[in-house]
Amino acid sequence: MKTRITEMFGIEYPIIQGGMAWVAEHHLAAAVSEAGGLGLIGGANAPGEVVRDEIRKARALTNKPIGVNVMLLSPHAEDIAKVVVEEGIKVVTTGAGNPEKYMDMWKSAGIKVIPVVASVALARRMEKYGADAVVAEGTESGGHIGEQTTMTLVPQVADAVSIPVIAAGGIGDGRGIAAAFMLGAEAVQIGTRFVVAHESIVHENYKERIIKAKDIDSAVTGRTHGHPVRCLRNQMTREYTKLEQEGKTFEELEYLTLGTLRKAVQEGDVTGGTVMAGQIAGMISKRQSCKEIIQEMMGEASRLMHWD
């Protein structure tokens, strides 16, 4: 299955892994790349040197290409932007902001730059500034989200730009991949389904929470302050929502969530921690290796699309 994205990255399947904070570390990234997709190291809020170390560890596990996601709200974004150049990374995706100020540096280092966007306006602007593709990420995604659904965002972005579009948000099986292609995407970004992969270092409690999740178990916190974050409903989201309704400030709410994603991912605190996951969590029902996940999804998509 060839698209402009598989050709651009030299990968077998049009699947890229989301740059999930605390989750997208070297084991997962290397496993996705080894399985024929594009694995990413998620920079998240980590210092530049930690990201450098992760890149090197991933490279010790695979010779296939791996990328880095730069989370632009991070205080270390600038350092990570330089680390990817120094380490000879060939693909960078960005999230939660506008990567314009790094574009020239990355482009002159021969890096393919793929901003994650949640609107047509930002997609257009990114194309103008030299982006090689965009990820159009719908509100079904886990973590920091925009407002539009994948169903409405992907075709509008595909119509607005000439560069290839990667669809994200709510995709967790071959039907989702086929649907994304029908909407004009040339690849998909998958997050939540890879969280439960054997190679994912996420705590068992977190994986189990995703496997057990129902369609209605998703919640969005932080809408009132313009920082919407999607996660699975628990004591933390209930407490957050209560304080949000009481009119607490953004800073007070930030303090409440400080370190809670790490607590859920590493310590398995799925009650008081933040369990970021997309709405598709309700459909994810089994643990598999990254290779099994990719093979199964691509098999389903191929049959639906008559690629086989």
Close Cβ partners of 226 (under 8 Å, ≥ 6 residues apart)? none
For ligand TUI, the closer of residues 52 and 144 by Cβ is 144
Task: Give a three-class secondary structure readout of the chain.
Answer: CCCHHHHHHCCCCCEEECCCCCCCCHHHHHHHHHCCCEEEEECCCCCHHHHHHHHHHHHHHCCCCEEEEEECCCCCHHHHHHHHHHCCCCEEEEECCCCHHHHHHHHHCCCEEEEEECCHHHHHHHHHCCCCCEEEECCCCCEECCCCCHHHHHHHHHHHCCCCEEEECCCCCHHHHHHHHHCCCCEEEECHHHHCCCCCCCCHHHHHHHHHCCHHHEEEECHHHCCCEEEECCHHHHHHHHHHHCCCCHHHHHHHHCCHHHHHHHHCCCCCCCCECCHHHHHCCCCCCHHHHHHHHHHHHHHHHCCC
CB of 101 to ligand TUI, least distance (A): 11
CB of 291 to ligand TUI, least distance (A): 25
Which residues form the interface with ligand TUI (CB under 6 A)? 21, 44, 71, 73, 95-98, 116-118, 122, 137, 143-146, 227, 229
For ligand TUI, the closer of residues 178 and 277 by Cβ is 277
Matching residue, tokens 């210092």: 47
CB of 23 to ligand TUI, least distance (A): 10
Close Cβ partners of 96 (under 8 Å, ≥ 6 residues apart)? 71, 72, 73, 116, 144
CB of 235 to ligand TUI, least distance (A): 18
CB of 138 to ligand TUI, least distance (A): 9
CB of 121 to ligand TUI, least distance (A): 8
Residue, CB closest to ligand TUI: 143
For ligand TUI, the closer of residues 14 and 95 by Cβ is 95
For ligand TUI, the closer of residues 194 and 298 by Cβ is 194
Q: Which tokens go with 261?
A: 């994603």
CB of 161 to ligand TUI, least distance (A): 15
For ligand TUI, the closer of residues 178 and 270 by Cβ is 270
What is the distance between the alpha carbons of residues 240 and 261, in angstroms, rounded to a whole number? 14
For ligand TUI, the closer of residues 6 and 192 by Cβ is 192
CB of 16 to ligand TUI, least distance (A): 13
For ligand TUI, the closer of residues 144 and 263 by Cβ is 144
Task: List the beta bridge partners of residue 187.
Answer: 166
For ligand TUI, the closer of residues 35 and 145 by Cβ is 145
For ligand TUI, the closer of residues 3 and 45 by Cβ is 45
The phi and psi torsions of 135 (rounded to 5 degrees) equal: -95, 120
CB of 42 to ligand TUI, least distance (A): 8
